[in-house]
Each structure stands twice: as structure tokens, then as C-alpha cells.
Structure 1
Amino acid sequence: MASVKIASAKKTSKTKKSMSEEKKDMISAYLYIAPFFIIFAVIGLYPALFSTFLAFQKWNGLAPMEFVGLNNFRVVLMDPLFWKSLYNTIIIGLMGTAPQLIIGIILAFLLNLSFLRFKNFFRVTIFMPYITSMVAVALIFSVLFSNHESSLANYTLGLLGFDPVNWGASEWGTKIAISIMVFWRWVGYNTIIYLAGIQSISNDLYEAATIDGANKFQQLIHITMPLLKPFIILTVFFSTVGSLQLFAEPTVFLGASAFTRDEAMTVVMYLYRDAFKLQSFGTASATAIILLVIIIIFSAINTLVTSGFGRKKKGAY
């Protein structure tokens, strides 16, 4: 009987010891991942919650806050400049984003061709704009799209028989210049993503298509595009979010006059102007929430559209 009690006691002590070791391992694991959650709470979660709180307050950053309910949302939604900024954001986003997704797939397909020489050089070159400093980008495009007749853009238009364009002041001239800047900066990023997707496709499919007599264009349409669907959905989602948050490109292109003109005023620029130019943090926070809702709606629509890409209809073979 005594031996049974001793054995039971030893078993209990071993169980407690193993439980304590499990707790130590669990605490150690939480300590390892704690820095991420702490940093996220400080620079991510808290600003988001505080901005949501500010959306219902009237505050200039110094005076006491005053609760105004939904008035900030009403002020923003009734402001014609907000709708103008939303219009600019969508137009510039479409002109700068849609072409880069299509051309990105074509470039990725060309960079993956077996007979292409100096592949690494071309891949690095096409990715360079993404890592280029925005200051350098601003200098380059301010020269390319200068209002002077001898600028590269106006000189090219002259060769084609068109009149020079005042890129920095005209409505569509500004939009086109910024869209080209967005395209130039991000097309390489999407190309590399598509290239990674193409390289995950088995070469046997292309070899079989070649034996069946399919040319390169047919292989691109019927093999590459359908199998790139997950990557297309990813890039469309990121591009949609990025285009609706457009800020750096129009700001550096227009310079000091960026927040005093409405030709290229985007929603984020409108938000920034309210917060840091007009010291109206309540309406700026309300604009941020409205922008979040718009991003969710557009992202959902684009995801649904791209999810149906390449899907066979019922009864199709």
C-alpha cells in the first residue's frame, strides 16, 4: 500500500513538473512574439482607435475636444473638394494602375523566355524604379514633363504633330504626368511578382502547347494567364489599395502648390490638408474612415471580378 502511495506521489510530482515546464515554454513563446504585438499596438492599433474617436470630435490639436457626433462626416461629404479629390484618385488610379498590370504580365512572360540573354540584367533594371528615391523620381519627372517646349514630353508631342502641353497646370496634363509616374514606379514591382508566378508553372505545359502548334501569344492567353490567377488577384488587391492611398507622387510632382490646387488633389492629400494645414483633425479622421469604407468596397469588387477570371462556364469544355 505504501509503495502504491509513493508511486502515485512520484507520478503526481512528474505531472506537475511537466506542466510547469509547459507553462515556461508557453511564457517563453509569448515573450518572443511580444515585441511585434507591442509595436503593433503602439504604432498601429492605438492610432487607428484614436482616429476613430477623433472622427466624432472637433479638435485643432490644442484646444479641448468637443463632441460633434456625425457632423464631421456631414462636412466632408458635403464638401465639393472631397468629391473632386475622390474623382482625381479614381481617374489617376485607373490610368496608372490598369496598364501596369497588363504590361507587367507581358514583361514577365518575355523575361521568362528561354532564349532571352542577360535575364538578370533586365530583371534588375525593370525593378530599379521601385527602389528609387522619391526625390530622384521628382527631379526626373519635373524635367521630363517640364512646361517648356524643349522638354522631352513636349518635344515628343511636337514630333507627332501635337501642341506643347502645360503639364504642371492643365487638368489632364497633370493627371497624365502623375499616372505615368505611378506606372513607371510600380510596373517593375508587379512584373517581378508575375515572373515568380510564371516560374512556378511547369514547363511541360508550354512544351505540350508548342507540340500542339500553339504560338507564344496563345500560350500566354491560354496557359499563363489562367494559372497566374492567384497572383493577379494579389496584385489587383494591392494596386487598388495603393491607388486609393495615392499621396507621394502628386505631392512631389506639384511641389509647394500641391495642396492649393485641385487638379490632382487625392483623398489622402485632402485628409493631410485638413489635419496638418487647417488643423481640423476631426474632419481628417472622418475622411480616413470614409476612405477605409471606399477601399473595402473597391477591393471587394475587384476581388470578385478577378476571382471569376478564367472560370469556365457550365457546359463548356
Structure 2
Amino acid sequence: MALMSPTRPAHSRGNPDRPSRRIGFSQRLGRLDVKVSPYLYISPFFLLFAVVGLFPLGYTAVVSVYEWNLLGGQGDFVGMQNYVDVLQQPTFWKSVGNTFSIFLLSSVPQVIMAITIAALLDQNLRAATFWRMGVLVPFIVAPVAISMIFGRLFADQYGFINELIGLVGLEPIAWHGDRLASHVAIATMVNYRWTGYNTLIFLAAMQAVPRDLYEAAVIDGAGRVRQFFSVTVPQIRATIIFVVITSTVGGMQIFDEVRMYDAGGLGGPNRDWMTTVVYLYDVAWGNQKNFGRAAAVAWLLFLLIVMIGMVNFLVTQRISTAGPKQSKVSRKHTKRLLAEARAAGAPGGVRMPPTPPGAPAGSGIPSPPPTPPARPSTGSPTTNSGEDLR
């Protein structure tokens, strides 16, 4: 006889006889701390960003719709007239063209050189720390010092670059007289300063790539170049997008190198290398001394950077997610094979053995082989045994 334990009546959640548990103040405070503390930890960044980022941006938008000069202060409300005046000035459009030219000559080679140097530094080198820290030295040097040094290198008469060109037998280049030559010189200064910084970003991303992928690639017979394009580049796609966007923003805001490239600091007598930021400086504190128009230039540059950044993001995102697409012929062929396989009664065109009774359909358990039929006996077992003994 089995012993039956007495069953207790189950208390429902809504049982009025059971007193509800009261939450103390310390428990409530603990729950509040868990929910609120993460936002408090990150709030200083957003507060600082609002003070030094959002407020100047909004205040610049307010200034851009007023007649505001350096001496008289705020004037009358002019609406979009400052934007119209800026867009009608040929110097503004020339500065935009110079900015795009210097941006292309600096950002594109900069990203290519940075990712190449990072791939070389990611190998097993002697004194790897020394080489990795050495690429960051140009970034530590002040931009003014870099501009002064390269200004002497690219001097028209006694510059070091022209001296080397003269040794080869070529004519000296007018680095301050030719528009394209001046853009190349300024882009060289930008690349010298920022290539090492982007190299360390790429190097950090490459070191986070699992080494098992490279070992598998070596087993498959892939060389160094194949490993770079098939393993490294796909694994650091997010970093490439980040570097491209930051290089775009920085390339559209070049100021120090252009300002220190010559004695005037305003892009030469014909404004051949004046960028948009230098033009903004000239409008605010130079010849015009008009803060309203300068604020309008700042907002136009901001919108231009946002549009170019979005285009770069979409292009790099499309390139990074693009893969080999299956052709229509291949897809039709695959559909036809699947249809034939279904018509044959087995997935993939393979005829499976029949499923035994009681087994779930599609389980893949073959039925046992059929039992052979028994032969009819012609005599008693004893007689048969006697015949076998004979």
C-alpha cells in the first residue's frame, strides 16, 4: 500500500488571506539605482556636448539671420539674406572647389597608406612597440610647426623639394604659384600628420581579428595578399567606415596648414588654395568683418559635411555588404532541381528508404528488411532431421 502525502491547497496569487510583501525603502532605492545609475554615468558627456556642441550650433544659426558685425554687434533681422549674399560671392565657390580638391588629395591616399602600414605593423616584427609608436610622432607635433617646416620644403626658390628636382634636371615647380601644386603640397602636410593616427586605429582593429581565420586561410593555401583582402578587410569593415567618415569631416575643415602655408595666410593672391574655413575666417575677421555672413558660411559648411558624410557612409556600407550575387539562370536551375526532388518524393533528389510504421514522417529511419517466406514442411521435424542426417 503506497503512502499518500497530504496535499496542501495551492494558494493563488490573488488569495486575500496571504499578506502582500512590502518593499522597503532600501530595496526601492536599490532598484532605482540600477535603473538610473547608467544614465547618470554617461550624462557628463552629453552635458558637455550640449554646452560646447549643440549650444554653439544653435547660436550660430541665430547669428546667421541677423546683420551682425564685429564693431556694431547685433543689428536688424535679415532672414536668409546672409545666405543669399554668401552664395552670390565667387570667392565662396572657389573656396569650396579648393576644399574638395585638397580633401580628395589628402583623404583617399591617407586611408590607403594607413591601412597598408597597419597591415605591415600587424606582422611579427622586432621592436614592434617602437615602430607602432613611431608612426604616431607626426600627430604629436603641433600643426603650426609642421606647416612651417613643409613651407620651407616647398619654397619656390630655395626649397628642398625644388633642389632635388633640379638635381634630376627638371624645372622647379611653382608651389605657391600653381593651383594644383599648392593643393598637393597642402595635402602632403595633412597626410603626414594624420596617417599615423589612422594607422593605429586600423592596427587596433586588425589585432582584434581572430587568428584562427588566418590559420584556416593558410591551410587553404592563401597568401599574404589574399589573406589581407579576404580576411582582414571584411573583418574591419566597421573601422574602415569610421575612418572614412572622420577623414571626411577633418578634410573639409582644413585650416592650420592653409593658414601657415604662406605669409598672407589667405590662400595666395588669387585665393588658389583658400579653403572654406579660411574663407569663413576672412569674412568674420578679415576684409568684411561680418559675423552674420560668417555664421551663414559655417552653417553651409556644416550641411555640406553632413551630406558628404552620408554619401560616404552609404557608399562604404554598400561596398562592405556587397557579396557575390547568384545569377538568375542559377536560381532557375536550383528551383527546377528542387521541384524534381519534391516530385521524386525526397528532399534534394535523393530517394530515401520507406519509413517504418510508427516512426514519424521524415525521420529518416529506414524500415527493417522484409522477412523471407517460410518453406512448407513435407514431414515431421523428426523425419526431416533423419533425412538431414542421411
The one of 111, 120, 123 equivalent to 1:113 is: 123
* Partners of 2:147 and 2:256 within 8 A in 1: no
Which of residues 157, 163, 181 in structure 1 aligns to 2:189? 181
Unaligned stretches of 5+ in structure 1? 1-6
| Number of residue equivalences | 307
Q: Report the 3-state secondary structure (helix = DSSP H, G, I; strand = E; otherwise coil) of the residue aligned with 1:146.
A: coil
| Residue 49 of structure 1, aligned match among 35, 58, 78 | 58
Counterpart residue type for residue 245 of structure 1: Q
Q: Is contact 1:134–1:252 with CA below 8 Å preserved after alignment? A: no
Give the corresponding residue for 1:4: none
Counterpart in the other structure of 1:312: 323
1:172 aligned residue: 180
What is aligned with 2:375?
none
User: 2-side partners of 1:98 and 1:204: how far apart?
Assistant: 31
Alpha-carbon displacement from aligned partner over 1:84-111 (angstroms, at most 9, x marks no partner): 0000001001001100111111111111
For residue 145 of structure 1, report the CA deviation from its aligned partner: 1.1
Q: Tell me the residue number matched to 1:280.
A: 290
The superposition leaves residues 199-257 of structure 1 with CA deviations (integer Å, 9 ceiling, x where unpaired) of: 11122222222233222122222221222211110000000111111111111222433
Give 1:202's aligned amino acid.
P
**Paired AA for residue 224 in structure 1:** T
Which residue of the other structure, out of 206, 223, 228, is the alignment partner of 1:220? 228
1:256-271 alignment, distance < 5 Å: 256-258=264-266, 261=269, 262-271=271-280
Tell me the CA shift for residue 160 of structure 1. Answer: 4.0
- Aligned CA-pair RMSD: 2.7
Cα distance in 2 between the residues matched to 1:22 and 1:211: 53
Tell me, yes or no, if the aligned pair for 2:114 and 2:196 is still in contact at 8 Å.
yes
Which has the higher mean CA deviation after the structures are superposed, 304-313 or 27-36? 27-36
What is the TM-score normalised by the length of structure 2? 0.71
Q: Which residue identity does 1:57 align to in structure 2?
A: Y
Report the Cα offset of residue 28 of structure 1. 8.3
1:89-137: CA deviation from partner (whole Å, max 9, x where unpaired): 01001001100111111111111112x2221111111111111112321
Does 2:244 align with 1:236? yes
Provide the C-alpha distance between the structure 2 equivalents of 1:20 and 1:194, rounded to a whole number of angstroms. Answer: 44
In structure 2, the residue corresponding to 1:166 is in which secondary structure? coil
User: Structure 1's 72 and 147: CA in aligned 2 closer, same or farther, altered over 3 A?
Assistant: same
User: Partner amino acid for 1:248?
Assistant: D
Contact 2:209-2:235 within 8 A present in 1 as well? yes
Q: What is the CA–CA distance in structure 2 between the aligned matches of 1:290 and 1:132, rounded to whole Å?
A: 31
Aligned in 2, Cα 1:23/1:243: closer, same or farther, shift over 3 Å? same
**Cα 1:63–1:120, aligned 2, differ >3 Å: closer, same or farther?**
closer
Give the drift of 1:38: 4.6
Q: d(CA) in 2 for partners of 1:26 and 1:205?
A: 40
Q: CA deviation at 1:158?
A: 2.5
State the AA in 2 paired with 1:283: R
2:155 aligned with 1:155: no
Corresponding residue of 1:3: none
Equivalent residues of 1:275, 1:281 under 8 A apart = yes
Residue 302 of structure 1 deviates from its aligned partner by 0.7
- Structure 1 position 31, deviation (Å): 7.3
| Match of residue 89 from structure 1 | 99
Once residues 211 and 171 of structure 1 are traced to their aligned partners in structure 2, the CA distance between those partners, rounded to angstroms, is 52
Q: Given the alignment of the two structures, is residue 79 of structure 1 paired with residue 99 of structure 2, yes or no?
A: no
Q: Secondary structure at the match of 1:59?
A: strand
Compare 57-66 and 91-100 and name the one that shifted more: 57-66
Selected match of 2:134 from 125, 140, 148: 125
More helix by share: 1
Unmatched runs of 5 consecutive residues or more in structure 2: 1-18, 331-390
CA distance in 2, matches of 1:282, 1:167: 34
State the alpha-carbon separation in 2 of the partners of residues 158 and 100 from structure 1.
28
**Contact 1:229 1:309 (8 Å CA) reproduced:** no
Whether contact under 8 Å (1:259, 1:273) holds in the other structure is: no
Q: Which amino acid aligns with 2:242?
A: L
Letter in 1 for 2:81: N
User: Taking structure 1 as reference, are residues 156 and 208 closer, same or farther at Cα in structure 2, changes over 3 Å only?
Assistant: farther
Q: TM-score, normalised by structure 1?
A: 0.87
Q: For structure 1, which segment, 140-149 or 45-54, has the greater mean C-alpha deviation from structure 2 after superposition?
A: 140-149
Q: Hey, what's the Cα distance between the residues in 2 that align with 1:132 and 1:101?
A: 20
* Residue aligned with 2:272, SS: coil
Do the aligned partners of residues 41 and 109 (structure 1) sit closer, same or farther apart at CA in structure 2, a change above 3 Å counting? closer
1:288 to 1:110, Cα distance in 2 relative to 1, 3 A = same
The CA distance in 1 between the partners of 2:238 and 2:130, in whole Å, is 27
Deviation at 1:187, TM superposition (A): 0.6
